[in-house]
Chains A and B, each alone.
Chain A
Amino acid sequence: MTRRHMLLLGPLLLFLAAAYLIPFLGVMRWSVTLPEPGLHQYRAALTDPLVQSVLIRTLRICAMVTVITVAAAYMLALIWVRSGPVARLLVELCILIPFWISVLTRAFGWLALLSNRGVINTWLQQLGIIDWPLVMVRNEFGVVVGMVHFLIPFAVFPIATAMRNVDERVLMAARSMGASRTRIFWQLFVPMTRPGIMGAMLLVFVFSLGFFITPAILGGGRSVMVAELIYLRLFQSPNWGLAAAMSVVLMAGVGVLIALMLRQLGERTAR
């Protein structure tokens, strides 16, 4: 990279420092100074039963969301990359239109669909399929649905890129050897798109760890995730030191994850 390229990066670096780095350093300072200097807020963040249960729930929801999102995105990307123009257009519309709608609107949209008096329950009751509404919001189910829907586009793009990089002739070679479509898919296509899958999983998992609006609306305060807990500790039962310590722990966890995944990706591409 030349000096001029570095200069072009300058404004961005300044912006990142002003908007993220400096505030984050402030948060780190709170975490070791509020209400008094020391590491006790970290001890609380890691041992407090409430915080622990929220962290475990967060990890569980994020893991489920990641698996479901990436699996769904893989199927969508497959249609997008490898089928005819009509199916392709349909997938593009289904991915891109929600992508441009605000997260808040989408969360309320799901509320309208899934709540006890929502569209789905009303229809099912009118059709006589159920007597009592299915509980689909104010629980983890609603949170997972909302998060998966929000995150799918982010997973489709890296997976589709990996799929486009698959050499068609490799698949033809396998067909000429008599390999069935199932075998080609599982033993060749999926392993060859692995970098895309890994990238999508990382992106979705990291993104989902910090989710706030969707769990707050669709979880209805019953399946609190870590970002919501941080918010509560800041504004409802204030303990800024603990909120700051939780933020730092979350940040550190994300950092470690990204480092691990990048290393794995690097090793695979180097070989």
Chain B
Amino acid sequence: MAGSPGKAAEIDATGIGKSFGTFKALTDVTLTIARGEFLTLLGPSGSGKTTFLMVLSGFEPPTTGRLMLDGRDMTDIPPEERGFGMVFQGYALFPHMTVEENIAFPLKVQRRGRAEIQRRVAEIIEIVGLGEHRHKRPAGLSGGQQQRVALARALAYEPPVMLFDEPFSALDRNLRTQMQDEMRRLHRETGTTFVFVTHDQEEALTLSSRIAIFDAGRLQQIGPPRDIYERPENRFVAEFLGDINVLPVVNSTLEGRAITVNGKASGDLAIRPEYMRIALEAPASGNAVAARLRDLTYLGGVTRLNLRTEGGAELVLSVPTADLADGLTPGTEIWATWSSERAFML
């Protein structure tokens, strides 16, 4: 399975909408999935991310909009003819077939030669490390092994696009991390376009080259993980991905103290917990807000602080333990500070 980026495809979705009766599952989703990229569709349940994947797969025809595959219209092409690889939640293995038979199935569908099928199945079984289980049926395998069979079966016929519907949601944490590493490796080795649905933000950050965030049937933001985390375009994205502190600002003033803001002068100021620091005295200059320390949690390298400002806003800070003064106890009056380039207005 040497990388065959020539086979990877680009998908352009324009104005995709999907209604079920009066319920709008998707509204006007427009995005481009680049050749060979690893795109994660992230959102809470009911956000439309799975519906969008089903539209990509062809199982749910969109109510509005067009889908293009490498510049050709594929909106009305049924899933059988798209030739995409799919991995489902719950693996969807053929229960009456062995591991080998499961993986050979799509190759038989494509009427490949017997010798080629044998060679290809052996090759891919080796890649996913299932050599000793090749004659077992799915019921005799662990969750992680079944997951590998599902991956192998979808990758076996070298599809131009791979679609994943929350494939790791049933796995325990360790196995999940292991499978995520494997996914990244397979993505690198195959060079295929991967589209991956998840509701787990950590998984999205770990895996993807870009993340598309969905909420209420709309695409909220799409971009590399770091952009989305550090420059969220709206409040939903800011609050959905990681923790964030939100403080109301009026005319560049926060709780009576003048602060520097980027962009508009009034609105909600957002700062990530790891970009805030504490000071024991009121700083002479710079952005700061007075607060009382309510709780602190030692997490090894970092310590998590819970603060409440005089105005009643709750703050969470993630501070390197090495920077903290000894003897800091709940109830202490302190100041929370930040630099203005780390804060943004929502």
User: Which residue in B85, B90, B139 is a CB contact (below 8 Å) of A176?
Assistant: B85
B110 at the interface (CB under 8 A from A): yes
Do A173 and B88 touch (CB < 8 A)?
Answer: yes
Smallest CB separation, B74 vs chain A (Å) = 14
Bits for A148-186, please: 1 = Cβ < 8 Å to B, else 0: 000000000000000000010110111111111001000
Residues on the B chain within 8 Å of A172, using CB: 59, 79, 86, 88, 92
Do B92 and A170 touch (CB < 8 A)?
Answer: yes
A232 at the interface (CB under 8 A from B): no
For the side of the interface on B, what is the size category? 20 to 34
User: Which residue in A173, A176, A192 is a CB contact (below 8 Å) of B82?
Assistant: A176
Do A169 and B89 touch (CB < 8 A)?
Answer: yes
B120 at the interface (CB under 8 A from A): no
Do B109 and A179 touch (CB < 8 A)?
Answer: yes
Do B105 and A177 touch (CB < 8 A)?
Answer: yes
Do A170 and B89 touch (CB < 8 A)?
Answer: no
Smallest CB separation, B262 vs chain A (Å) = 46
Stretch binding the partner chain, chosen from B93-101, B205-213, B314-322: B93-101
> In the docked arrangement, what's the CA distance between A178 and B154, Å?
11
Residues on the A chain within 8 Å of B93, using CB: 170
Smallest CB separation, B191 vs chain A (Å) = 20
B140 at the interface (CB under 8 A from A): yes
If the complex has contacts A172-B59, A194-B96, A271-B137, are A177 and B109 also in contact, measured as CB distance less than 8 A?
yes
A50 at the interface (CB under 8 A from B): no
> In the docked arrangement, what's the CA distance between A172 and B86, Å?
9
User: Which residue in A180, A188, A194, A271 is a CB contact (below 8 Å) of B94?
Assistant: A188
A10 at the interface (CB under 8 A from B): no
If the complex has contacts A183-B109, A271-B140, are A175 and B92 also in contact, measured as CB distance less than 8 A?
no
User: Which residue in B58, B92, B140 is a CB contact (below 8 Å) of A173?
Assistant: B92
A191 at the interface (CB under 8 A from B): yes
Closest Cβ neighbor of A176 among chain B residues:
B86
> In the docked arrangement, what's the CA distance between A178 and B77, Å?
12
> In the docked arrangement, what's the CA distance between A161 and B154, Å?
29
Residues on the B chain within 8 Å of A175, using CB: 59, 78-80
Do A178 and B109 touch (CB < 8 A)?
Answer: yes
> In the docked arrangement, what's the CA distance between A191 and B105, Å?
14
Do B88 and A179 touch (CB < 8 A)?
Answer: no
Residues on the A chain within 8 Å of B82, using CB: 176
B326 at the interface (CB under 8 A from A): no
B76 at the interface (CB under 8 A from A): no
Inter-chain pairs besides A172-B86, A176-B84, A192-B96, 20 sampled, C-beta below 8 Å = A167-B90, A170-B95, A172-B88, A173-B153, A174-B94, A174-B105, A176-B79, A176-B82, A176-B86, A177-B85, A177-B157, A178-B109, A179-B109, A183-B109, A188-B94, A192-B94, A192-B95, A194-B96, A271-B137, A271-B139
Residues of A near any B CB (own CB < 8 A): 167, 169-170, 172-180, 183, 187-188, 191-192, 194, 271
Give 13 CB contacts A-B under 8 Å.
A169-B88, A173-B86, A173-B88, A173-B92, A174-B94, A175-B79, A176-B85, A177-B85, A179-B80, A180-B109, A187-B105, A191-B96, A194-B96
In order of increasing CB-CB distance, the 10 nearest A-B pairs are A177-B106, A169-B92, A176-B86, A173-B92, A169-B88, A191-B96, A170-B92, A179-B109, A175-B79, A178-B80
